[in-house]
Chain A
Amino acid sequence: MAESLFGIHGAALEVRSQRMGLLSSNIANAATPGYKARDIDFKTALDARLNGAGSDAATAKAELYRVPLMPSMDGNTVELATEQVAFSENAVGYATTLSFIQSRVETLTRAIKGE
């Protein structure tokens, strides 16, 4: 029901939220030796989700390791600038998707009330 109600936006919000978790993990581990930063290829994850994959399976399929611009000696591949940009881009995407859903809810509410 919810799938057809919100269309692509429901799936997109899920992927955005999971990507946010992954990017937070990267930022949290900025000083951990040997930590390999990961990211989700948003399009792959969204396509998998829309083709019926579960939300965990969809993101697992789209997970990639980040290639560092300047590898550091301790094997950590987190670059704060890159992660910050990815995180804020994702946050904007999340907010946008949220506003699409919001307007959908408003449309439906208006239809139900018959105003």
Chain B
Amino acid sequence: MTMANPMTIFDVAGRAMSAQLVRMNSSASNLANAGSIAGDANAVYKPIKPVFRTELDRSTGMMSVSVDRVVRSDAQAIRRHDPDHPLADENGDVWAAPVDETQEMVEMMESARQYQNVIEVLQTTKTLMLDTMRLGK
């Protein structure tokens, strides 16, 4: 993959921010669907998770990041016996989404922390670049 312009720190930071945003969004989807019920083991919501990939810019040697793909977990749906539930099957079972809420919360916190870190980088770089621009004035 070749690019017309060499990537700047701002590009790298911007891409990192959007990648982290995808991660936060998928965690939010997982949390929103935690405990959702389906009447069939195959129809139940499965958690999603993005896979990041490094993107090398050969002209500057800088490493950016992008979302390679979003994978859907193959965790088993949780069977629960609840004959009164309107979606219960003939055995009286319903199927709950296999979302590990604690894990998703930790994922969210880590992602937020890394997003903040990138913003810090962006701010520092911006200040330094502006100082450089003002050189000699």
Contacts and interface: CB of A to CB of B under 8 A. Distances in A.
B20 A31 contact: yes
Nearest to A106: B136
B117 A24 contact: no
B46 interface: no
Contacts of B60: 21
Given A32-B53, A33-B52, A24 B125 contact: yes
User: Which of B12, B54, B121: most chain A Cβ within 10 A?
Assistant: B121
A25 B124 contact: no
Interface of A: 20-35, 56, 59-60, 80, 84, 87-88, 91, 94-95, 98, 101-102, 105, 109
Contact of A33 (B9, B12, B51): B51
Given A24-B9, A24-B12, A80-B113, A29 B65 contact: yes
6 closest A-B pairs (Cβ-Cβ)?
A: A28-B16, A25-B63, A32-B52, A105-B136, A24-B9, A30-B114
Contacts of B54: 29, 32, 34-35
25 contacts: A21-B9, A21-B60, A24-B121, A25-B12, A28-B13, A28-B16, A28-B63, A28-B121, A29-B16, A29-B54, A29-B63, A31-B19, A31-B20, A31-B65, A31-B110, A31-B114, A32-B52, A32-B53, A59-B61, A80-B114, A84-B120, A87-B121, A87-B124, A95-B131, A102-B135
Interface in B88-137: 110-111, 113-114, 117-118, 120-121, 124-125, 128, 131-132, 135-136
B117 A25 contact: no
Interface of B is mostly: helix
B122 to A, nearest CB: 9
A31 B67 CA distance: 11
Contacts of B124: 87-88, 91
Contacts of B117: 27, 30, 80, 84
Contacts of B12: 21, 24-25, 28
Given A28-B64, A98-B131, 16 more contacts: A25-B12, A27-B118, A27-B121, A28-B13, A28-B65, A29-B54, A29-B63, A29-B65, A30-B117, A31-B111, A35-B63, A56-B61, A59-B61, A88-B124, A94-B128, A101-B135
